A and B are shown apart, each in its own frame.
Chain A
Amino acid sequence: MTDTTSRRNFLKMGAAGASVLPFLRAMPAAAQGSDTLVVVTGATINSLDLHRSGTSRASYQVGINCYDRLLSFGTKQTPDGGFSYDYEVIEPELAESWTESEDGLTLTFKLKSNATFWDGRKVTAQDVKWSFDRAVSVGGFPTVQMKAGGLERPDQFEAVDEETFVIKLDRASKLTIPDLAVPVPYIMNSVEALANATEDDPWATEYLHTTPAGSGAYKVARWTPGEQLVYERNDDWVGGPLPALQRVVIREVPSPATRRALVERGDVQVAFDIPDKDAAELADTLDVFSTPVENCIHCLNPNFAFEPFQDSNVRKAIAYAIPYEDIFQAAAYGRGLPMWGGEEEITDIAWPRKTQYYTDIDKAKELMAASGYADGFDVPLSISLDLASWMEPTALLVQEALGEIGINVTIEKIPGANWRTAVLVEKRLPLHLENFGGWLNTPDYYFFWAYQDGHLFNSSNYRNEEVEELTNATLHMPMDDPEYAPKIMRMFEIVLDELPRIPLYQPALNVAMNGAEGYEFWFHRQLDVRPITRA
């Protein structure tokens, strides 16, 4: 299936493929058939199994394109004319229908009776149960993500009969249904997996790592880590409308300059996740989609463990000193959304929202003078070398601005391997840049990760009893509950006043297309190739 695929096997993969290939050999890349798409990306797909520990972000796309979940999100049009997934609309994928019990504690799913795995076997509720058991048992990221939706133990899942699957919840939560539509809870062919499981490896992680066994829209025709992944369409897919493309080649090209040349020349149709600078420059000539990443904010975080930052006036002084517009232009080339200069009064629950802060050095100086640190202080500003493309220009501008209000900033660059440990686990960086984004698009979910004490992305060591309480209360509450909106607005008010995270801007995910259409933005920030067509 992977690099052991011989040339013969590959040619046998489909009559169409076999007949087209020799013909293609003599033709330039740009002239390939209209049913083949070539995508370039800078990231490495290092596993075909999302549940495995160590699986890179880029590998999640295999979970999306090759596997089905019970549910999926709908599609909506974005203001710039592109498409995006729609968090508000839940659509069936492998489930035909589902019902919720009166108390919201029992979810019953009816599976599509014509759904089959690639080997032709019918998808049964037993497969769903095995796949869910695996996700909550293997540990690491999939288990954490399942937990977010209240899915924690195998005994919560039951295969009632071949086509009926039941989830029992400990408490009703608005996050459960959306959490079933994220990439993690996908359905695997449990018979095939179990046949390749061993005593040491009961969840067949070694087998599924290189050999997907799913029912999804695309199969993996070949995979060479560090080079390419080739998808081949599964014509028997029932999870949604049959994709237009027969074959999709994901080619890994580390240099952004090379990726740009390739898509500009039209030899590849999609350049996925391109730098903001290229997006800004290519926007006039190609189709460039820069979708603001939902529930994600680039922030400057003053750490409460560092004494001067316990002073509210100091934090506010920083918020008024930051040159927001300059940062937005220098670090993001204007791609994304500004997060400054909004109304102080909070009247809605849209998140991310513009803060009431804006660049005003005089006001910042006044606040510094009123603080306990009128003479200023020294502080290191930490950035990650892996994220230097936006963090470095931002840090330089922040350094310059804070120098004006007496805060002497030195920039500390931390190697990528060390960054997560320092910023998120040890939470020891006095002043740093951070870019958390939540998959589930509700403000309370963002607060859960980024503002609750001890949680991973609360790298400022922030703790506010009221925020703790409100986040816990709203996390599972339905959004149409009359209590929900007032509580959320109160949460906004507190954290925007106390500023454990100073929002700078909402980043964008940039995709350039030349000769293809139908791109859809997804919260997981990976390419869903299913809706894409050749122009």
Chain B
Amino acid sequence: MLASSPRLRATLLRVAQSIPVVIGVVIISFLLTRALPGDPAVYFAGVAADTASIEQTRVAMGLDKPLVQQFFIYVGNLLQGDLGQSLSSGRSVAADLAKRLPASLELTLSALILAIVIAVPLGVLAATRPGTWVDHLCRVVVTAGVSLPTFFTGILLIYIFYYLLGIAPSPLGRLDFIYLDPDHVTGFYLIDAALMGDWETWRGAAKQLILPATTLALFTLAPIARMTRAAMLTALSSDFIRTARAAGLSNRTILYRYAFRNALLPVVTTLGMVFSFALGANVLVEKVFAWPGIGSYAVEALVVSDYAAVQGFVLAMALLFVALNLVIDLLYTAIDPRIGFSSK
């Protein structure tokens, strides 16, 4: 079967190639968290702890053991799917990630979709009409999006739409407290609520999503619009478009069938990069909107040297990016059949 399907074989090969990366991430994240300043035993022993109770906490946390032994215990647990216990949230890291990763992904993906819907047409229009008002608008939006920090945009949007106008819901996280979380299936509230057929909750979750997603979208649409415009300009000035025009093909066909499809490759690459940094930029948006996502979780864990949580976060991110790169590679071949896996 493998021989008959080159794409499947290539996919498996790519997955196999990512194994050393993941092993490297496990080792590096372990060592880096240990290299962090601070002593978690002191922190978690509490406000009025004396030397004896700090030592008790250290033993209870297993931090009195040599580093190598701690590492093997960690890897052993990891192989059994146990990411350890987060000290700051008091729950298992796996449970925390299962709860918080979908929250961040839901926010980031919504923002990204919003950004694509706005930025790609904007980029295409700007490229086909360079120097007109559309092009200038594109430039203004791009500059504004890049230069406004997300926490500032977030607070500004809250101030205008919640505080002054009162049309946005309270910025209280994923759902106002009068709603109940939908049953956990995917962790994406919009999907879970839809699966339950609970449209009341769906609307509640969607309303909560609008402001933070807009904040993040403003930030992410800049590179996408920029890249679309540049790629379209390159494509439109290339030989095959001139040939197509000479052959008398309609403008529409030229634009969408030939130019846009060729311009898509760099745009998809940019999307992958934007997605990764948007997950990182999430932290500030999450803080402002009380969004219980993975970014604020990681930052808080880092501040208190919560080793298990930080390692779990880094590992989850590494796996996510391995998967993301794979998806993007597969997208390449779908967009442009000339790119084969065999060539890589």
Are A421 and B42 interface neighbours, CB within 8 A? yes
| A/B interface sample: 16 pairs, CB < 8 A | A10-B180, A53-B57, A54-B57, A54-B90, A144-B49, A226-B296, A253-B290, A254-B290, A261-B158, A261-B171, A265-B162, A265-B163, A417-B39, A421-B38, A421-B42, A425-B39
Report the Cα distance A196→B297, complex, angstroms: 30
Report the Cα distance A420→B45, complex, angstroms: 11
Report the Cα distance A65→B107, complex, angstroms: 34
Q: CB within 8 A of B49: which of A24, A230, A257, A456?
A: A456
| Interfacial chain B residues near A21, Cβ < 8 Å | 178
User: Does B170 lie at the interface of the complex (its beta carbon under 8 Å from any beta carbon of A)?
Assistant: yes
Within B78-130, the residues touching A (CB, 8 Å) are 87-91, 96, 99-100
Interface of B is mostly: loop
Interface of A is mostly: mixed
Interface 0/1 of A25-59, CB less than 8 Å to B: 11101001000001010001011000011111100
Are B287 and A226 interface neighbours, CB within 8 A? no
User: Does B51 lie at the interface of the complex (its beta carbon under 8 Å from any beta carbon of A)?
Assistant: yes
Are A262 and B43 interface neighbours, CB within 8 A? no
Report the Cα distance A254→B303, complex, angstroms: 14
Are A251 and B57 interface neighbours, CB within 8 A? no
* Interface residue tally on A, bucketed by range: 35 or more
| Interfacial chain A residues near B40, Cβ < 8 Å | 417
| Interfacial chain B residues near A143, Cβ < 8 Å | 53
Are B162 and A425 interface neighbours, CB within 8 A? no
Minimum distance in angstroms from A170 CB to a CB of chain B:
19
Report the Cα distance A417→B35, complex, angstroms: 12
Minimum distance in angstroms from B260 CB to a CB of chain A:
40
Closest residue of chain A to B288 (Cβ to Cβ) is A255
Are A415 and B38 interface neighbours, CB within 8 A? yes
User: Does A416 lie at the interface of the complex (its beta carbon under 8 Å from any beta carbon of B)?
Assistant: yes
Report the Cα distance A55→B90, complex, angstroms: 8
Are B287 and A255 interface neighbours, CB within 8 A? yes
Are A252 and B290 interface neighbours, CB within 8 A? yes
User: Does A87 lie at the interface of the complex (its beta carbon under 8 Å from any beta carbon of B)?
Assistant: no
Q: CB within 8 A of B303: which of A3, A226, A264, A386?
A: A386
Closest residue of chain B to A53 (Cβ to Cβ) is B57
Within A396-432, the residues touching B (CB, 8 Å) are 415-418, 420-421, 424-425
Interface 0/1 of B256-296, CB less than 8 Å to A: 00000000000000000000000000000011111010001
User: Does A369 lie at the interface of the complex (its beta carbon under 8 Å from any beta carbon of B)?
Assistant: no
Are A254 and B287 interface neighbours, CB within 8 A? yes
Are B91 and A225 interface neighbours, CB within 8 A? yes
User: Does B177 lie at the interface of the complex (its beta carbon under 8 Å from any beta carbon of A)?
Assistant: yes
Report the Cα distance A38→B178, complex, angstroms: 10
- Contact (A265, B289) CB under 8 Å given A141-B47, A144-B49: no
Are B88 and A46 interface neighbours, CB within 8 A? yes
Are A456 and B183 interface neighbours, CB within 8 A? no
Report the Cα distance A12→B89, complex, angstroms: 27
Are B60 and A53 interface neighbours, CB within 8 A? yes
The 9 closest A-B pairs by CB, nearest first: A417-B38, A141-B46, A54-B44, A253-B290, A418-B38, A139-B56, A418-B37, A46-B90, A417-B305
| Interfacial chain A residues near B151, Cβ < 8 Å | 255
| Interfacial chain B residues near A144, Cβ < 8 Å | 46, 48-50, 53
Report the Cα distance A415→B45, complex, angstroms: 17
User: Does A249 lie at the interface of the complex (its beta carbon under 8 Å from any beta carbon of B)?
Assistant: yes
| Interfacial chain B residues near A416, Cβ < 8 Å | 38, 303-304
